[in-house]
Amino acid sequence: MVALLLAGCHSVKDSEALARFEFNEPHMGTLFSITLYARDAGEANAAAEAAFAEVAKLDRMMTDYDPSSELMQLCRRPVGEPTRVSPELFELLAESLRVARETDGAFDITVGPFVRAWRAARKSKILPSAGELARLRANVGYEHVRLDAKTKTVTLLAPDMQLDLGGIAKGYAADRALEKMRRYGVTRALVAASGDIAIGDAPPGKAGWRVGIAALDGAAGELARTVLLANAGVSTSGDSEQNVEIGGVRYSHIIDPQTGLGMTNHIQTTIIGPNATITDGLDTPTAIMGVERGMKLINGQRGLAALFVVREGMKVETVVSKEFARRFGVGGDTVIIYR
Ligand code: ADP
Ligand code: MG
């Protein structure tokens, strides 16, 4: 009798149908899209609402457009004075400094002063002068940020520092949104924030979510490749709309901390990894580091895969990491596999 009852329950659960739902909301200067599978609209709405609320909370905390955000308040604290911050901000600052060390400073959240100068240059079409760049450089450098894990405090060691989490916050927010939905019982979900995607369990009956990697400078919808992913992050840098051309040279919105100017490499990097915080953190610096150094970094870590599309003159090349070739195949356009 008991066994029969259990068997009955089991079959009901198995045949339970999940429906697909989609939600979109603007956050962090872009559109956040959630695709999820849930038992009904009530469950789907509750999970999506909680996920968007989490993203909105993180945006308020970390935006550099609002002087009252927690991050901007931190930047105004006196030099050398420890400041206690929220667990989320502490966690993301810690991850940002880890990426800075691992990329020899190619990723550096203290580039804020350079980012502001770049935004002004985009409007005026005049590059900051060497003198101006030297002056700003005194306020830049991730080694001027100290974290104390015990007290959850942050100490800034240079004056007028401007922290900019724009290179990693969208991936982190997408991860946190996915995590929120999990607590509502929704595990088969995907959160996309333009180039940054956090991916949970696969759709019912599928091995993963199919994600397209955009072609370099491609027309909307043109893809370099598609990959099948579950429980992963994927990020692509190199938004071709965010360039400025000055004196015949293209400067990206990604700042090379060495020069203080927008990067001039014509490269798009896609990183696949365990979560979107890690992949968002790495898509920006690997673009600056270029193929050789960038691929060496990716190949040196388990669980990371990358596809770079590089233009030199009229030549466009697709380069994939060792892990990418193993997991997703090489594809007709791949010219080099970095080993
Ligand atoms: P997007 O999806 O906007 O292309 P990215 O992940 O490529 O985002 O990050 C670009 C943003 O990161 C810039 O808009 C700026 O706010 C910030 N940023 C620029 N250069 C760097 C750098 N070298 N290290 C860390 N953050 C940077
Ligand atoms: Mg990034």
pLDDT mean for each 10 residues of the chain (339 residues): 40 66 97 98 98 98 96 98 98 98 98 95 94 97 98 97 97 98 98 96 97 77 86 87 86 95 93 98 97 97 95 87 93 71
The pLDDT, as a whole number, for residue 214 is 80
Nearest ligand, measured from the Cα of 276: 2
Between the CA of 1 and the centroid of ligand 2 the distance, in Å, is 57
Residue 132 near residue 155 (C-beta atoms within 8 A): no
The pLDDT, as a whole number, for residue 5 is 42
The pLDDT, as a whole number, for residue 338 is 74
The pLDDT, as a whole number, for residue 327 is 95
Between the CA of 204 and the centroid of ligand 2 the distance, in Å, is 30
Q: Is 272 helix (H, G, I), strand (E, B) or coil?
A: strand
Between the CA of 167 and the centroid of ligand 1 the distance, in Å, is 4
In residues, how long is the chain?
339
Residue 307 near residue 318 (C-beta atoms within 8 A): yes
Structure tokens at 58: 């993180």
The pLDDT, as a whole number, for residue 222 is 74
Between the CA of 320 and the centroid of ligand 1 the distance, in Å, is 22
The pLDDT, as a whole number, for residue 241 is 67
The pLDDT, as a whole number, for residue 149 is 96
Nearest atom within ligand 1 for CA of residue 164: 16
Ligand 1 pocket check for 109: Cβ under 6 Å? yes
The pLDDT, as a whole number, for residue 277 is 98
Structure tokens at 130: 């060497």
Task: Pick the residue whose CA is nearest to atom 16 on ligand 1.
Answer: 166
The predicted model scores a pTM of 0.93
- Reported as type and span, the H/E element at residue 197 is strand 196-199
Residue 299 near residue 339 (C-beta atoms within 8 A): yes
The pLDDT, as a whole number, for residue 15 is 39
Ligand 1 pocket check for 194: Cβ under 6 Å? yes
Sign of CA dihedral 146, 148, 149, 151: negative
Q: Where does residue 128 rank: exposed (0-12), middle (13-18), buried (19+ CB within 10 A)?
A: buried
**What is d(CA 252, CA 239) in angstroms, rounded to the nearest whole number?**
8
Residue 48 near residue 36 (C-beta atoms within 8 A): yes
Ligand 1 pocket check for 167: Cβ under 6 Å? yes
